[in-house]
Amino acid sequence: MKLVATPPLPPDTGGLENLPGLSEILLEHEALARGGRMSNDELLTLYQKVKDHGKRAVLVWDILADDNAIADGAAVFRRLGPERFDAVRVQDVGIAWYLAEHFPELPLQLVVETGNHNLTGLTAWIDQFRPERLVVSNEIPNAELSRMRRALNVPMEILAYGRLLIFYTPRRLLSPIDPETDEYDFLSRFVTSVEDGKHFPIVENRHGTFMYYEKELFLLPWLHEAEAGGMDYARLDLKYADPKLLPRLIAWFKEPTPANLEAVKALTAPKLTRGFFKSNRTDKQFSRLKNPHLGLRGDRTYLGRVVDVGKKEYVAILTEQPLKVGDTIHYAIPEGEMPSGEVAWIRDPTGKKVEKTDRPGLWLVNHCRKVSTGSRAYL
């Protein structure tokens, strides 16, 4: 597995080129990257150092942008010299379209970390943009990523160490403590949850406000499993890390001993997580939210679902079975009771009375006490 990294002290590499397995270094411009802080000159200085060390130089253009922001970013991109870079990393579809149209020969690395958790969606992006790599979500377990990797046959990259973004807004939510010395262009704070004392890092820059999880993602001990599952690249996001961490990372990748691992952990966040690498069970709560009284019963004929109730006037049922005047409807309501009532009349949605229904669909019947929207109707 190859490594990808952002340097801790740009425009200096900080010795990042000595990291075993490192294949490319990410370059983050202040106008193009969400966490970028480099000017044109600083980025080009780092670019030259990266190339001098024989590594790939990948420009990060991962902001979310409207048409005006794309145009502004394109001007910066052209001034930097698109031909310099070995690839460009993008998240916004509009930016991907721009690059595909104007620089089709430039390799594209597509960030699909948010909202792209299924094969159908990923296949569509691959067909559209033909990226050289997918930067996939940390919310997908390793086993599922392995299955996707085999099905898609496109190199994939995971985040192995770094902060986990949990909230973003283009609005600026922070204010300088000292307006004379603390500039608005890049603010870094911690927000504390009053209830449980959790500390969430917050960064604000020209692109908006970013809130991160209190725990940092830390997959170093499990990289061999990721590699066995087919992952091609692992990313180390060091832009917010202690610069002293890099030498310890280099030592661990050279000799992954327990002592070296503990030395690495000593300079990371107080709390670490492997996230959803093993499993993602966040959907388990939905089964608990389901009302057991509204499950389909096997001892009665299911008529349909109650979609509206007019108090003392009608019950609207989206039927699946025939219904006629004189039938008895049994309603399974959310509270667990099962009131019933005889059908005195039936109307279609226009108000026309009928003796029996001639098709499945929406039908109104006389009101029955205690029945509410969402109830199940049985014959």
Residue 31 lies in a domain: yes
Query: Phi and psi at residue 349, in whole multiples of 5°?
Result: -60, -20
Q: 268-321, pLDDT tens digit by residue?
A: 988 999 999 988 877 666 655 678 888 888 889 999 999 999 989 999 999 999
What's the pLDDT at 288?
A: 56
With 0-12 / 13-18 / 19 or more C-beta atoms within 10 angstroms meaning exposed / middle / buried, residue 224 is: exposed
Which residue, among 51, 53, 71, has the nearest Cα to 63 in the 3D structure?
Answer: 71
Q: Verify that 150 and 257 share a domain, yes or no.
A: yes
Residues 265 and 175 in one domain: no
- Look at the chain and report how many structural domains it folds into: 3
Structural domain contains residue 286 = no
Quickly tell me which residue has 């070296």 as its tokens. 260
Span 191-206, average pLDDT: 77
In a domain, 287, yes or no: no
111-151 pLDDT, tens digit per residue, is 999 878 888 889 999 999 999 999 999 999 999 999 999 99
Residue 128 domain boundaries = 2-164+215-273
Average pLDDT (349-376) is 94
Does 113 fall in a domain?
yes
Is residue 199 domain-shared with residue 74, that is, in the same domain?
no
Q: Is residue 288 part of a domain?
A: no
Residue 344, in any domain of the structure: yes
Same domain for 265 and 330, yes or no, is no
Same-domain check for residues 251 and 126: yes
**For position 305, which CATH number holds?**
2.40.30.10
Examine the pLDDT at 182 and tell me if it is beyond 70: no
Transcribe 138-163 into DSSP letters: TTS-HHHHHHHHHHH-S-EEEEEEE-
Residue 281 within a domain:
no
Domain match, 189 and 264 both = no
Q: Has residue 84 got a pLDDT over 70?
A: yes
Q: Which helix (H) or strand (E) holds 27?
A: strand 22-28
Residue 280 lies inside a defined structural domain of this protein: no
92 and 29 belong to one structural domain? yes
Low-confidence winner among 36-45, 83-92, 202-211 (lowest mean pLDDT):
202-211
Do 146 and 170 share a domain, yes or no?
no
Among candidate residues 241, 273, 305, the one where a domain is terminated: 273
Same domain, 189 and 141: no
Burial of 222 (0-12, 13-18, 19+ CB in 10 A): middle
Count other Cβ atoms within 10 Å, centred on residue 288.
6
Q: Are residues 128 and 268 in the same domain?
A: yes
Q: How many Cα atoms occupy the beta-carbon half-sphere of 317 within 13 Å?
A: 32
Each residue's pLDDT tens digit, 216-274: 999 999 999 999 999 999 999 999 999 999 999 999 999 999 999 999 999 998 899 99
Q: How much is the pTM?
A: 0.74
Q: What percent of the chain has pLDDT over 90?
A: 78
Q: What is the pLDDT of residues 141-181, one digit of tens each?
A: 999 999 999 999 899 999 999 999 999 999 888 766 555 55
Question: Which of 22-26, 179-183, 215-219 shows the lowest mean pLDDT across its residues?
Answer: 179-183
Q: Are residues 102 and 250 in the same domain?
A: yes
On whether both 248 and 317 belong to a single domain, the answer is no
Average pLDDT for the chain: 91
